[in-house]
Structure 1
């Protein structure tokens, strides 16, 4: 039996095991992500190759997330999470034996594709579990805690990962990550959630058609505000992914020529900013409204302008590094506030029987623009490697314009 939703206790049995599993999973995920970023950039020295691999790896998640949402609403969510985390650990372990080798970039690309397929089914399942465990004010607090766990993991792993990767190399990171996934699967075995098996035998094609019809009617007719928020997030993610995910490591490692330790410190600082952002959502939960999200977007755009100016002024490497660090940390704080509040808002307006599907659309729509952003910005940073301000400043101004135009869009 699942715990009753009127229970005001935040750290219930289910939620505690979910958080512990997320801690282990995220530590492994972030460690692997950091190590692979450093490894690919060191092997190729190209932002385009780096961006291309990340973009290709995201396509399965974009295409399959809606089906992951259908599965999350029709199957036992606990069993789905256990199976997917076990398969993730097994995939990383096998990849560890293939890297480094003469075909290591191919092996890394294959691993990223496999993890993307598994993530397409796991992400909406995890998000659908939270409102099944919590309700009311605890739902916002629970999402904030999940966000904080992710932020703390991103705070710890880059700094430790930079030392671990520099001293021991890439292969031990694979083995450690696989252990983290296996631990997560073990912890998730203790989660107890209600699940009612469907008694009717319906063709798979009919199930998919019916589920998509019901969920799209809900988004387009009953809650168009949610759809507006998703479309805005998808548009902004093109710029956020391009500048933060591709641009920031490329600027630090390739343009400025700094070590992986410098990048690790920067990632840890951004983790602190992300934790601060989710804490602010908890503190200001009753004062934040959807229309305030445009301020976050404008702030993000403003922060990119000084980053570009830093490469125009005759500054040395370290001052430029500090400017990038401060501005991108500010961006991370805003992005954390945006995502935490937006997810809680969507969950609070979505009925439980549609939760998996709607949350899958959250991931699908928000990620649709990311591969395009990664490829576009990878090419832009390669082309303007001697004048990166031609990329940063126009991007910042364009995001500010989107933020200004979204004021009435979010009312």
Structure 2
């Protein structure tokens, strides 16, 4: 069989569409976070809005995976981006009429519903476009696109938000979503098998097959996801809720300072994805335990600077450095993990398994965001009482994960990720790869 090219037309169009979509998404989320914090000044309310917006994604992602394996993935991506742009357009029209926080809350929920179907679809497209031996490079390229978008959009979004306000950012986001849909129209993918007449039965069977695959055929992947969800409870709470609250409210710095920090973290994510792309053949899964440990070690100095009599500039610099290191680690961990999962998953289960990956990885995030929103409000004058214990707990989790990652490497080493399983999901494919 003729080998597919590494940078195919389909994959390039997917990457360009991701650039446009992510620029709009990141700019919108940055502007909305700044607007909510400025209007309320409450980390708790900010966290509640973020958590509310994630609930539909957590609940609906498994159904998004079923749909991604049953319809043309290209058509599904086009429809979802058109709907996303229309939702932002409607919010922009309603925002000047009042009740802005309510409008933002509804918009976040609608975008979360659409994201529940889009994220597993995009991830399922990558193995369909690329040969197995290039999956690590493909996932690294997608991670680099995401990181580059997060590098530039916060700084530019901060300038646009400060100069022109929220509405201009909304109109720009609408254009980005519609441009993404136009690019995706050029993608050509094989149509997946159609829906059966009994849709409810199809959903039950598909979800049961993916759950059975994770529990019986690949339990180590399920344990990996549960471990990541546990750490995500701490990391997402401190990074997604805590970092903007610390910069804007605790330190009292302007939106431009937070935008610069977000861009710096985007640069760290770029370096992380580049690192994976350059070392794809030499990375070892056991090294991911050190990444988990590093998350906790980064939270310790971030908390220590608030316990010491330091000025705002020093605290800002330390926070920026520590969270950049966290972003580097997150990029390495997510790219490696997704590559292993994709390489060990049959094509017929790809969308469903990737949707469960997103679901399990996100389950802990709303809880973490709500908890840390309340904690940062409770310890508004002493945030080190939030950061230091969190760092210590994550360090302990990282140390405890060392045997797990060593065992995971023996079962599914990254260097053999190209050895995919047979379509029936049996373990023979991986076993043969290990013996070879």
Residues 355-370 of structure 1 mapped to structure 2, 5 A cutoff: 355-370=350-365
| Structure 2 Cα separation of the partners of residues 196 and 49 of structure 1 | 42
What is the distance in 2 between the residues matched to 1:83 and 1:228?
34
Equivalent residue for 1:247, pick from 234, 242, 250: 242
Q: CA deviation at 1:159?
A: 0.5
Q: Number of aligned pairs?
A: 406
Cα distance, 1:208 vs structure 2? 1.4
Residue 300 of structure 1 corresponds to which residue in structure 2? 295
1:182 pairs with 178, 184, 192, which one? Answer: 178
Deviation of 1:328 after TM superposition, in Å, equals 0.5
Unaligned runs of 5+ in 1: none
Please name the residue that 2:380 is paired with.
385
Counterpart CA distance in 2 for 1:49 and 1:16 is: 40
Q: Cα distance, 1:132 vs. partner?
A: 0.3
Residues of 1 paired with 2:203 and 2:22: CA distance? 31
2:69–2:192 Cα contact (<8 Å) kept:
no
Match in the other structure for 1:404: 399
Aligned match of 2:332 in 323, 334, 337? 337
CA distance in 1, matches of 2:297, 2:201: 48
Root-mean-square deviation (CA, aligned residues, Å) is 1.1
Whether the 8 Å CA contact 1:5–1:134 is kept in 2: the answer is no
* 1:123 and 2:104 matched: no
The Cα of 1:291 is off from its aligned counterpart by: 1.9
Question: Aligned to 1:257, what secondary structure does the other structure show?
Answer: coil
Tell me what 2:145 maps to. Answer: 149
Report SS of the residue matched to 1:10: coil
Structure 2: distance between partners of 1:380 and 1:219:
35
Judged with a 3 Å threshold, the aligned counterparts in structure 2 of structure 1 residues 344 and 201 are, in CA distance, closer, same or farther, namely: closer
- Residue 101 of structure 1, CA deviation: 4.1
Corresponding residue number in structure 1 for 2:79:
83
What residue is the counterpart of 1:326 in the other structure?
Answer: 321
Alpha-carbon shift at residue 136 of structure 1 (Å):
2.8
Matches within 5 A, 1:162-181: 162-181=158-177
Q: In 2 relative to 1, CA 196–165 (structure 1 residues): closer, same or farther, beyond 3 Å?
A: closer
Aligned partner of 2:233 among 221, 228, 238: 238
Task: State the Cα distance separating 1:24 from its structure 2 match.
Answer: 0.3
Which of 2, 14, 20 aligns to 1:24? It is 20
1:272 counterpart residue number: 267
Q: Which residue of 2 aligns with 1:69?
A: 65
TM-score of the superposed pair, with normalisation by structure 2 = 0.92
> After alignment, is 129-138 or 113-122 more displaced?
129-138
**8 Å contact from structure 2 (residues 234, 390) kept in 1:** yes
Q: CA deviation at 1:240?
A: 1.2
Q: Report the equivalent of 2:3.
A: 6
TM-score, reference length from structure 1: 0.97
Q: Deviations over 1:338-371 (max 9, x none)?
A: 0011011100100111000000011000000000
Q: Provide Cα deviations, 1:142-195, integer angstroms capped at 9, x if missing partner.
A: 111111101010010011111100010000110100110000001000000001
- 2:94 — aligned with what? 98
Q: Distance in 2 between matches of 1:318 and 1:390?
A: 20
In the alignment, is residue 226 of structure 1 matched against residue 221 of structure 2?
yes
Q: How far off its partner does 1:286 sit?
A: 1.9
Gaps of 5+ in 2: 408-436
Question: What is the distance in 2 between the residues matched to 1:111 and 1:102?
Answer: 14
Other structure's SS at 1:141 match: helix
Shift of residue 196, structure 1, vs aligned partner = 4.1
Please give the alpha-carbon distance, in whole angstroms, between the structure 1 residues aligned to 2:48 and 2:96. 20
The runs of at least 4 consecutive aligned structure 1 residues that moved more than 2 Å come to none
- Residue 5 of structure 1: how far off its partner (Å): 7.5
